[in-house]
Amino acid sequence: MAVNQRKSGNKKKNVDEKELNKDKKNSGTNEKNDENISSKIPWRKIFSRFMLSLLMIFAVYWTSKKENLHVFASQKDRLQLTSAEVSCSPAYKKDVSKFKDCVPKHCGRLVTDIVVTPEEAAHLLRVSKKGLAFGGSSGGASILDLHAGALSYDNSFINVYEKIKAHGANKVFTPDDFKVYSNVRNKIQQIISFNFGIPINKLYLTHPTFFSEITPRAAKTKHDEYWHIHVDKETYPSFHYTSLLYLSDYGIDFTGGRFIFVSDGKNMTVEPRAGRVSAFTSGAENPHYVERVSSGTRYALTVSFTCDKKFAIADPTMQKLE
């Protein structure tokens, strides 16, 4: 019995070995088949098409962004005078019509680089920095108003003239500083009068007129949030004509910070250039915003005009420091 049992065991062992070899052979065949199937899948082609699709999506997005943006005034170009007409908003036209001889021959915007000299722009930049040195917002936007004396200080405002007196530094501003300021204001008033066909004596400087300093620092208060789309006349009802004098250069002194007129078609962009004047009617025909400054420091002077004499303000003088 024992011998027969051993023979039976040897037969079973032989059968098991054959089955095992057969399984190995089948397994090897399956692996080869899997490899053949994997090798037949065009992975490179699939990856290439995927990357191409991503590039096409990006290209469509970038093109759509660019098509909605028109450079109205490039920093690289020195412009004699470029302008664009837009239809006056009904509310603006109704309001400005109350003032005889102050209705523009057309609403719109202008940019010129020949009204203010480089020397005048450089001088006013020094004036703004001298005043701003006595304060400064904790957020990204600071203002200095030489008419009212308002100066950003931390999260609020102080009077720059009182601050200067407290420091016993009455010689911070000079008579020449105020003379240059007044001369530049007069030049800007003249170009607005010329472009919009208004007698110069029908335009009055109004509040607020101020220097601005914008940096990439995060906003701390609503006064730091300069990048929202807005209409000047809705913010300041006395405004009829707004102008800006840029005191630093886009792409050189700072990045971001472009001035953008918003429209249903193409937005029109003004790239700041030291000495450049941009002016426009202040109604809803000219909604606009300033891009966030991403690096450096952007300086400008906002000069505002009204047709309503009761809102007129005088140029600042040395008497502010007496």
pLDDT tier, 67 (very low <50, low <70, confident <90, very high otherwise): very low
pLDDT score for 321: 85
CB 180 within 8 A of CB 124: yes
**Residues 198, 101: Cα–Cα separation, whole Å:** 6
Cα–Cα separations (whole angstroms), residue 191 to 84, 109, 276: 14, 11, 12
**Residues 81, 90: Cα–Cα separation, whole Å:** 27
Whole-prediction pTM: 0.80
**Residues 270, 116: Cα–Cα separation, whole Å:** 17
Per annotation, catalytic residue among 258, 273, 276, 298? 298
Non-local CB neighbours of 154 within 8 Å, separated by 6+ positions: 135, 137, 138
Residues 233-263: tens digit of each pLDDT: 999 999 999 999 999 999 999 999 999 999 8
Residue 224 is given by DSSP the state G
Overall average pLDDT of the 46-65 stretch: 48
pLDDT tier, 66 (very low <50, low <70, confident <90, very high otherwise): very low
pLDDT score for 262: 96
For residue 258, indicate whether it is catalytic.
Answer: no
Non-local CB neighbours of 134 within 8 Å, separated by 6+ positions: 151, 160, 163, 164, 167, 172
Query: In this model, does residue 60 exceed pLDDT 50?
Result: no
Residues 75-114: tens digit of each pLDDT: 999 999 999 999 999 999 999 999 989 999 999 999 999 9
**Residues 318, 321: Cα–Cα separation, whole Å:** 6
| Listed residue (188, 130, 196) closest to 163, CA to CA | 130
Give the CA angle between residues 24, 29, 33 to the nearest 5°: 145
Q: What residue type is 306 in one-letter code?
A: T
Residues 6-28: tens digit of each pLDDT: 334 444 444 455 454 555 455 55
Residue pointed to by tokens 């059968």: 15
